[in-house]
């Protein structure tokens, strides 16, 4: 582990892993985003990662946003600055995301909707997504969940 500070992560990056918990959380978040729930990309608790963090942690959007505002940066920067021993609540939230299979790159990719593997699996004619468009976020989460589900061992069931 390295030292902490702006732009320096003390978390050793590991490869993302497919987990039932992550698949369920992505699908649940996509379903919630299809409803009338408030979505605001510029709000750390109501954006792409903010909504997934709400699903996983059961922390309110207000508390997620407040926790993130202690440090500088969007979700990608927060994930890159993640340190499990920092004492910052945002790092506890990021740890919860990573505990179910995400890594810092996944967090940045979800916020910007830019993972190449997910984009390659989108329906024909839908290769470019707008990161702050609710419908695109839902499509990205559902597509990513399907990819992860396919990577699970065949004996594992994701059914609720």
Tell me the pTM.
Answer: 0.87
DSSP label at residue 123: P
Per-residue pLDDT averaged across 18-27, rounded?
Answer: 97
* 92 CB-near residues (< 8 Å, 6+ apart): none
- For the residues 132-157, what does the mean pLDDT come to? 90
Of 125, 97, 130, nearest to 113 (Cα)? 130
CB 40 within 8 A of CB 54: no
Q: What is the pLDDT of residues 105-135, one digit of tens each?
A: 999 999 999 999 999 999 887 878 999 999 9
- Longest Cα separation, the chain: 45
Q: Is the pLDDT of residue 157 over 70?
A: no
Bridge partners for 8 per DSSP:
5
pLDDT at site 20: 96
């Amino acid at each position: 582990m390295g030292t902490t500070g702006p732009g320096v992560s003390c978390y050793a990056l590991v490869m993302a892993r497919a987990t039932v918990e992550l698949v369920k959380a992505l699908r649940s978040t996509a379903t919630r985003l299809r409803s009338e729930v408030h979505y605001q990309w510029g709000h750390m608790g109501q954006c792409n990662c903010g909504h997934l963090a709400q699903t996983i942690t059961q922390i309110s959007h207000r508390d997620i946003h407040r926790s993130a505002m202690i440090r500088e940066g969007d979700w990608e920067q927060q994930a890159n600055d993640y340190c499990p021993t920092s004492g910052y609540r945002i790092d506890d939230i990021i740890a919860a995301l990573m505990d179910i299979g995400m890594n810092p790159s996944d967090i940045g990719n979800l916020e910007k909707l830019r993972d190449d593997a997910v984009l390659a699996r989108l329906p024909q004619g839908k290769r470019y997504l707008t990161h702050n468009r609710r419908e695109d976020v839902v499509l990205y989460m559902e597509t990513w969940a399907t990819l992860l589900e396919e990577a699970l061992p065949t004996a594992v069931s994701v059914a609720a």
